[in-house]
Homo-oligomer: A and B are copies of this chain.
Amino acid sequence: MEKVTLADAFASIDERWDPRLAGELNGQAVKLAKAEGEFVWHSHADADELFLVTEGRLRIEFRDRDDAVLEEGELLVVPRGTEHRPVAEPEANILLFEPAGTRNTGDVENELTREDLEQVDD
């Protein structure tokens, strides 16, 4: 049982769009990612996904509705099955909460796909 200091944890991450595990509870994972620019369009068939911006700005695009723009201290839950594309403008630090094992690129597998996430340094 160790606390995580978000500023230190984000400072330890070099890569963009490379989520790290900050904790697991009740079958869910808390992940931290540094974001820059456009991610890939994707959806998660079985996972609702929470985004909380702790620094910067993240726009989340949807196919059938207006974008959501999250500033520092704002959160949004994207329901399962909802196609979305995160775009950091220009950069953002993001905390995600979702079922453990949820793949970052959902139904898409490409060069941005990350599995078997490392634990974050804190």
Q: Which residues of A contact B (CB under 8 A)?
A: 1-7, 22-26, 28, 30, 47-50, 54, 65, 68, 70-71, 73-79, 82, 97-99
Contacts and interface: CB of A to CB of B under 8 A. Distances in A.
B78 A50 contact: no
B1 A75 contact: no
9 contacts: A1-B65, A1-B68, A1-B77, A4-B76, A6-B73, A7-B73, A25-B77, A25-B98, A54-B73
A28 to B, nearest CB: 6
Number of copies: 2
Contacts of A5: 71, 73-74
Contacts of A23: 50, 75, 77
A54 B30 CA distance: 16
Contacts of A47: 26
B1 A76 contact: yes
A67 to B, nearest CB: 11
B3 A25 contact: no
